[in-house]
């Protein structure tokens, strides 16, 4: 059976923390690939300065470009509307019955798993894979396979603030993603 990691999120913008999480899970679990899955409309996050779906998708493509074991999963764009992991994974499991999916989440998501839509059904479809994050308990009553990895306190929110205030982005996101953000004038950049 093929082993595929899924790293979902808004990727608003994608940053080095996302790449590290994906690679640590890929290596630790000996996955065949990790797919970055930008959501169409997140049920829990909406920001006034959000990049468009197309911008977020393009930034993910740029971020993972150098890595053959990373792919883009566009299913949530295809499905449209608010992206609930349960609906997405039901559809992916139908499309690819020969794949074992590993859904990669950080400590903040581990802590809130009990609030996820249809979580009791979702845990029967996929294996959650967790990576600790500073400032979180990284704990759940649900089955989460923990992966040892460097803990980074990095978020897209911090990066958007840095862009607005003209702070440095060096080593926080791939250079080609930063160049794209500036070219497109995203997040108040010039």
The pLDDT tens digits along the chain (190 residues) read 999 999 999 999 999 999 999 999 999 999 999 999 999 876 665 555 678 889 999 999 999 999 999 999 999 999 988 889 999 999 999 999 999 999 999 999 999 999 999 999 999 999 999 999 999 999 999 999 999 999 999 999 999 999 999 999 999 999 999 999 999 999 988 6
In this prediction, residue 14 carries a pLDDT of 97
How far apart CA 21 and CA 97 sit, in angstroms, is: 25
In this prediction, residue 119 carries a pLDDT of 97
Q: pTM of the full predicted structure?
A: 0.93
137 close to 109: Cβ distance less than 8 angstroms:
no
In this prediction, residue 46 carries a pLDDT of 56
Q: Which long-range contacts (CB under 8 A, 24 or more apart) does 182-187 make?
A: 184/51, 184/55, 186/13, 186/51, 186/55, 187/13, 187/49, 187/51, 187/159, 187/160, 187/163
Minimal CA–CA distance to 154: which of 172, 171, 167?
Answer: 172
In this prediction, residue 121 carries a pLDDT of 97
């Amino acid at each position: 059976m093929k082993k595929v990691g899924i790293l979902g999120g808004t990727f608003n913008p994608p940053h080095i923390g996302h790449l590290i999480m994906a690679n640590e899970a890929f290596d630790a679990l000996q996955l065949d690939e990790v797919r970055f899955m930008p959501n169409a409309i997140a049920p829990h996050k909406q920001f006034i300065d959000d990049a468009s779906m197309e911008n977020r998708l393009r930034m993910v493509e740029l971020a993972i470009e150098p890595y053959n074991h990373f792919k883009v999963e566009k299913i949530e764009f295809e499905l449209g509307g608010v992206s609930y992991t349960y609906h997405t994974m039901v559809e992916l499991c139908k499309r690819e019955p020969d794949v074992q999916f590993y859904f990669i989440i950080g400590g903040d998501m581990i802590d809130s798993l009990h609030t996820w839509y249809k979580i009791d059904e979702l845990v029967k479809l996929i294996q959650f894979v967790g990576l600790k994050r500073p400032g979180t308990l990284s704990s759940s009553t649900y089955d989460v396979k923990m992966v040892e990895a460097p803990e980074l306190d990095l978020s897209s929110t911090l990066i958007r603030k840095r862009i607005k205030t003209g702070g440095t982005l060096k080593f926080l996101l791939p250079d080609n993603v930063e160049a794209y953000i500036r070219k497109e004038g995203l997040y108040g950049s010039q």
